[in-house]
Structure 1
Amino acid sequence: MRLGGFKAALAGALAAALLVPAAAAAYVEGLPDSALGAAPDVRPVFGQPAVPPVPALRDCVPAGYPRADNGRDPRGLDPRSPNPLAGLRFFVDPTEPAFQEYAEAWREGRAERARLLARIAYVPRARWMGRFTRPNMKKKIRDFLECVAAIQPGTVPIIVVMRHQGKQCSDTYDGGGPAEDARTKAWWDDFVEVVGDARVVIGFEPDSIGTIECLAPSRRMARLQLLRYGVQKLSQLPNATVYLEAEAADWQDPELVAEKLRIAGIQYARGFMLNVTHYEWPLNNIRYGWEISRLVGNKPFIINTGSTGRGPYQYYRRVEGRLKRFVTWCNPPRRGLGVPTTADTGFARVDAFVWLDRPGLSDGTCNGGPPVGEWWDERAIDLARRATTWLYYPQRFF
C-alpha cells in the first residue's frame, strides 16, 4: 500500500476501532470458560494449541528443536516474498509468570482473577534473552528451545535479543567501549551457534537504534557497525525470521531512522520492529512504518501491541510559550492490553502485531514498579481490565 493511501486505510481502521463493544466482546469470548475444569484442561484460545500442565523447564523431555513449515521462506529477505509468519502457530509459554499466576488462581477458584490473567497467559509473547540470560547462557537457550518442541510441538517461539549496553545518556558515555563491543559480538556468536536450525522469530536489540544519541559522538557509528555485525550473523540462521529495532512513531523522524537502519544492515533482515518499549497507537506505528519502509527498500515490519490498548499516557506542558507533548514510557498508569499476537493484520507490509513487551512485567523502578522484568501483579490485573483491540482513539475514550 502506498503512503498516499494511508488516509483511506486510516478511515477504515478508525471505523473498526469505533466498534468498541464488538471488539471487547471478541476479547472476552476468546477466554476460557469456568465450566471447562482445571487450568491444564482449558481449551486453547486465539487459535493456539492446548497448553499442558504447567511445567518447569527442567521437566521438559528433550524433543529436538522447534519445527514448523508454512511453505514460505523463513528468512524472507526479499521484501516481495510472502509473509513468513503467516499461518504459523506461536508458542504460548506456560513457564512464564502470567501463566503460573493464572493457573494458581484457577485452581484456587478465584474465577475473576483467573479470567483477567488468562488475557495475558494465553497470548503468545516474546521470551527476552541477553546479558541477564545467565549463568550458562547457551544451556538456558538450548533448554528453552527444546522445551518449546517438547510441550507444544509445531509452534514457533518469539525471541527478543537484547545484549547491547545502554545504562546512561550523556556526551561522554561510551557504552562500555570496544571491550564491551567484543563481548557483545561473542554473545551473538554463541546465540547463533545455539539456535542453529530452530524455527524462531527474532526481534533484534530493542532501543539500540533510538538511544544512539545517548552515546558519546565518537561511539555512535561504532554502535551501528556493531548492530550490522549482529544482523549479518543472525542472517546465517536458516530458519529464523529477523526484525531489527526501528524505534516507535513517537520517537525520531522516519528519515533519520531509515538512515540508521541502512548502516545497521537492514538488508540482512526480514524487516524491522516498532514500539517495543513504547505504548503508541498501532495505527500511528503503521503510518510510521510505511514511511520508514519506503526509504529502506519496502522492507516489512512488525509492531508491538502488548500494552497499546489505551494508547500512550501523555500530557502537555507549556515550554517557552508553546505547548509541548510529553509521554510517560515507564509503567504509565491506566493502560490496557492491546491486539493479541497475530500475523493476520490486514495492512500491507505489516507482517504481524506481536506482544514483544511482556505485559505484566515491570518497565523498571518508576511509577511504583519493581525492578525491570519482575512480575507486577497489580499492573498485570489493571492492564487486563482495560484490554481493548483498538488501533486508535475510539470516538469516546475513557
Structure 2
Amino acid sequence: EGDRAGAPGSPAAPARSPSPVAADAGSPYWVDPQSRAARQVAAWEAAGRNSDAQVLRRIADRPMALWGPGGDPGPEIRRAAAGARATGRTLLLAAHNIPYRDCGQHPPGGAANARAYRDWIGAFADGIGKTKALVVLEPGAVAHTVDGCTPADRRAERFRLLSEAVDRLKRNPNTKVYLDAGDPVAVKNPTDLVAPLAEAGLERADGFAVNVSGFQPDAAARAYGARISERTGNRHFVIDTGRNGVGPLPGDRARCNPPGRALGTPPTDRTADPLVDAYLWIKRPGDSDGTCRGGPPPGTWWPDYALGLARRATE
C-alpha cells in the first residue's frame, strides 16, 4: 500500500496565480485556493486546456485535508488557518508524523522519536490556534497496532503519543479531533480496534475516522464504523469519500493507484446520519499512492490520475 502522507510535490508553476476559489456551498469547510489541483487548473487554463481544467475543478473547488508537512508544520498550517478564518470556514487537517508511521516502509517514516513527535504536534496545534478546525489524527497509526505492522515494543509508546496528541489538540478551543480507525480492508474485525482506540485517547476525542485513503463505498464504510461505534459508546465518525465513487478495484494491489476509480460524495457535514458527522476528502484526490502502476512517489501530485477521478465522478 502506498504512503498515506501528502508528501511534497506539485505541478509546474502556472503561468498566472490561481484565482480565488469560492467556498463549496454544500460544505462548511475551507477550500484552499493554492491547492495542487487549483494550481493545475490555472496551468491548464493558461495552456489552453480549458475543457480539462473545467473537469478538474470538481477537485479544485472542493475542500480537502491539508496534511501537516514534516519538519516544521507551523508556517503552512498558519497560512491555511488564516485563509479559513478569512472565509469563516472550518480548516480540514490530517496529522501524519507518528514515529515509525506506515510500518516504517516509506522513509523518513515520521518523526525520529517521541520527543520530536511531541515538538511536531505542538507546532501543529499552535499553528491552528483558535481557528475552527477538524483534525484526522495519524492515519494508519491505530490500525497498524492490530495488523502486525507495528512491532510490539513500539505499541505502548504509540498509544501514549496518540493520547497526548489528542489532549494537545483539544486544548485549542475550536479544534475537533478524530482518531483514524482504518477500513474494512485494513482491519478484518473492527472490534479489534476498540481497546487500542481507547488507549489512544478516543474518550477525549470527538470521534474516529474510517476509510482514510481507501476506496470502500459509503455503505461499507458506514457499516464498518457502526460496528466500532456500538462498542465505544456510540462514538461518532467521519468517512473519507475522496476516491470511493465506484468502490474498490478487486485484487491484491487494489489500494495502490487503482485505475478506473472516481470521486465520491462531496465533502459535507449534512449526512442525515446520526453516527456520521461528515463525509470528507481526507486523502487528497490526485495525490499518488506510490510508484505502482506508473505513478510518481507517494504523496506526489499526479494530474492525469486526478483528471480520471474527476471525469468519472457523478456529483
Q: Same fold (TM over 0.5)?
A: yes
Query: 1:165: how far off?
Result: 3.0
Alignment correspondent of 2:125 = 192
Deviation of the 1:130 alpha carbon: 3.9
How many matched pairs? 292
The answer to whether 1:247 aligns with 2:182 is yes
Contact 1:91 1:157 in 2 (8 A): yes
* Structure 1 residue 205 corresponds to structure 2 residue 138: yes
Q: 2:210 aligns with which of 274, 281, 292?
A: 274
Q: Does 2:243 match 1:294?
A: no
Residue matched to 1:256: 192
CA contact (8 A) 2:85 2:131 kept: no
Cα deviations across residues 326-371 of structure 1 (Å, max 9, x unaligned)? 4521111111111110111122210110000100111122221111
1:280, CA displacement in angstroms?
Answer: 1.0
Indicate the SS of the match to 2:192: helix
Task: Calculate the TM-score normalised by the size of structure 2.
Answer: 0.85
Compute the RMSD of aligned alpha carbons. Answer: 2.4
Residue type of the alignment partner of 1:331: N
The residue matched to 1:314 in structure 2 has which SS? coil
Q: How does 1:1-398 map to 2 (within 5 A)?
A: 40=19, 44=22, 46-47=24-25, 89-131=28-70, 134=71, 136-150=72-86, 153-166=87-100, 169=103, 180-212=113-145, 213-252=148-187, 253-315=189-251, 326=252, 328-388=254-314
Shift of 1:168: 6.6
Residues 310, 388 of structure 1: 8 Å contact kept:
no
Q: Give the aligned residue type for 1:299.
A: R
SS of aligned partner of 1:237: coil
Unmatched segments (≥5 aa) in structure 2:
1-17
What SS does the corresponding residue of 2:64 show, helix, strand or coil? coil
- CA distance, structure 2, for counterparts of residue 169 and residue 156 of structure 1: 31
Q: How much has 1:109 moved relative to structure 2?
A: 4.1
Amino acid aligned to 1:343:
D
Local SS of the residue matching 2:294: coil
Mapped contact 1:207–1:277 kept (Cα < 8 A):
no
**8 A contact 2:102–2:140 mirrored in 1:** no
User: Structure 2: how far apart are the matches of 1:199 and 1:41?
Assistant: 20
Task: Confirm or deny: 8 A CA contact 1:166 1:211 kept in the other structure.
Answer: no
Percent identity over paired residues: 35
Q: Which amino acid in 1 is paired with 2:52?
A: R
Name the amino acid aligned to 1:381: L
**Quick check: 2:97–2:110 contact (8 Å CA) kept in 1?**
no
Residues 1:195 and 1:268: Cα distance change in structure 2 (over 3 Å): same
Equivalent in the alignment of 1:20: none
Aligned with 2:76: secondary structure?
A: helix
**Separation in 2 of the partners of 1:182 and 1:329?**
32
- CA distance in 2: counterparts of 1:312 and 1:376, whole angstroms: 19
Tell me if structure 1 keeps the 8 A contact 2:210–2:240: yes
